[in-house]
């Protein structure tokens, strides 16, 4: 009797683990749940759409939480990261563009565009931290965990910047 209770308890503990596993097939065959954001020879990045939550909505500051999946073809693994994206709208592309146009109306479009790129490369107004990092084999089997990163400044025109912008767009329905 005790052995059956322990077996039942063990099976109940495993249910959440098996439900949270992710496989390559699940990512590829559910575009309504997992949006493909970046496709490259070395990998693909997906955003889990129903995982996006607002943690802070205090303009000009925003924080969104989302699950991001990176399919790593060279290591035959899927990295699942619960990520917190921080945004400072004072440094968004549109805010900086408006400011540059107002302050430099006599300069050419090309000059203002270069000024905007310089400002965004200095600080694009986004950073991120990770809560959890898990690695899965393509069949969904848990392969291990990783070390989360904290308070990482996002560089303009990088994959992580694109993921952060897409997360913001998905939640707020406009670009950051």
Return d(Cα 6, Cα 12) in angstroms, integer: 10
Q: What is the pLDDT of residues 24-75, one digit of tens each?
A: 999 999 999 999 999 999 999 999 999 999 999 999 999 999 999 999 999 9
Tell me: the pLDDT tens digits for 110-129? 999 999 999 999 999 999 99
Q: Give residue 21's pLDDT band: very low, low, confident or very high (50, 70, 90).
A: confident
Look at residue 20 in the predicted model and tell me its pLDDT.
62
| Helix or strand run (H / E) with residue 85 | strand 77-88
Model confidence band, residue 8 (pLDDT cutoffs 50, 70, 90): very low
């Amino acid at each position: 009797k005790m052995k059956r209770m322990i077996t039942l308890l063990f099976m109940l503990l495993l249910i959440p683990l098996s439900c949270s596993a992710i496989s390559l097939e699940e990512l590829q065959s559910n575009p309504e749940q997992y949006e493909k954001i970046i496709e490259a020879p070395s990998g693909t990045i997906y955003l889990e759409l129903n995982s996006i939550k607002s943690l802070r909505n205090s303009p000009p500051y925003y924080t969104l939480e989302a699950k991001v999946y990176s399919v790593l073809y060279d290591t035959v693994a899927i990295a699942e990261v619960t990520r917190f994206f921080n945004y400072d709208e004072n440094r968004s592309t549109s805010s900086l563009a408006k400011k540059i146009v107002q302050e430099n109306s006599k300069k050419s479009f090309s000059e203002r565009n270069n000024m905007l790129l310089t400002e965004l490369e200095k600080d694009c107004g986004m950073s991120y931290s990770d809560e959890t990092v898990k690695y899965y084999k393509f069949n969904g089997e848990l392969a291990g965990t990783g070390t989360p990163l904290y308070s990482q400044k996002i560089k303009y025109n990088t994959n992580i910047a694109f993921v952060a912008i897409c997360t913001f767009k998905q939640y707020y329905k406009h670009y950051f």
